[in-house]
Copies of this chain bind each other. A is one copy, B any other.
Amino acid sequence: MHTVFYVSDGTAITAEVFGHAVLSQFPLPFEHFTIPFLEDEDKARAVKAKINDSFHQSGKLPLVFHTIVDTTLRNIITSSDAMCYDFLNTFVAPIEQQLGVKADPRAHRTHSMDNKKHYDSRIDAVNYALDNDDGVTTKEYDEADIILVGVSRCGKTPTCLYLALQFGIRVANYPFIDQDMSRLALPPALKANRHKLFGLTIDANRLQEIRQRRRADSRYSAAEQCRYELSQVERMFRMEAIPFIDTTYHSVEEISVKILERTGIRRRIY
């Protein structure tokens, strides 16, 4: 098995996202090691020794994906017995030429708190999602960017949290209750904010599987109940012209991006 190292003087999240995206195209298993916060020469030499050990033990050159600003530290890592891929610097030179501006590797850093205002608005969005989760209150819907609606356990909460944490967007969520579904009517708090509503739906079998893990052999997790709720809610989405998507075969990332695409709302943070 090939060994892969993700090495950075920051969180190494960018190196991981990049390396993983490239390696996901190869139908091979890999062993992954992440080394964040590479901040001094001792640590860099220890990492180099670990990379070299991996080569000597396996006989296969390890792959190293790195993002390291400091040249001395970077040179220690790239002198390892490994194939090193420096995706930032590979692109910085042509972009410098194109923009006619020199890069300043210390100007900004990703995944840090350099932009405190952005950072606070992101944490506020997480708090908003938690305070307005699961219909616990409808009083703050005026402040919502989006209000997700759907049956219980169709994927609303993880989507709200992802949109808040990654994109800084304020998303409330409201689970339709029996009364809403039998009357086929939106409750008043939702009516007043109907332009913010976005629906989620899900395959009935998948919903039953999820509810079964949550509350086994209950009315809540019965196949018939799942089918009934979904058919009523989808009727309501159509009647009220609420845009909606099926979450069954989509990840939280895909659902979140589809919602942004359909609503035209843009992410606040990168």
Are A126 and B158 neighbours in the complex by a CB distance under 8 Å?
A: yes
Q: Please, which residue of chain B has its CB at the minimum distance from the CB of A91?
A: B22
- A37, chain B: closest CB distance, angstroms: 7
Chain B residues with Cβ below 8 Å from A85 are 91, 94-95
Residues B22 and A113 in contact, CB atoms below 8 Å apart: no
| Docked complex Cα distance between A250 and B22 (Å) | 29
Closest to A112 in B: B251
- A111 x B37 contact (CB < 8 A): no
Interface residues of A in 106-134 (CB under 8 A from B): 107-113, 119, 123, 126, 130, 133
Give the size range of A's interface with the partner: 35 or more
Q: Which of B95, B103, B107, B254 is the one whose CB lies under 8 Å from A111?
A: B254
Do the beta carbons of B22 and A257 come within 8 Å of each other? no
Copies of this chain, complex-wide, total: 2
Min CB distance A250 to B, Å, is 6
Query: Does A88 belong to the interface (CB within 8 Å)?
Result: yes
User: C-beta contact mask, A212-255 vs B, less than 8 Å → 1, else 0?
Assistant: 00000000000000000000000000000000000001111110
Interface string of A1-24 (1 = CB under 8 A from B): 010000000111110111011111
CB-CB < 8 A to A13: which residues of B? 253, 257
Quick one: given A26-B103, A165-B158, are A17 and B14 in contact (CB under 8 Å)?
yes
Chain B residues whose C-beta falls within 8 Å of the C-beta of A22 in the assembled complex: 88, 91-92, 95
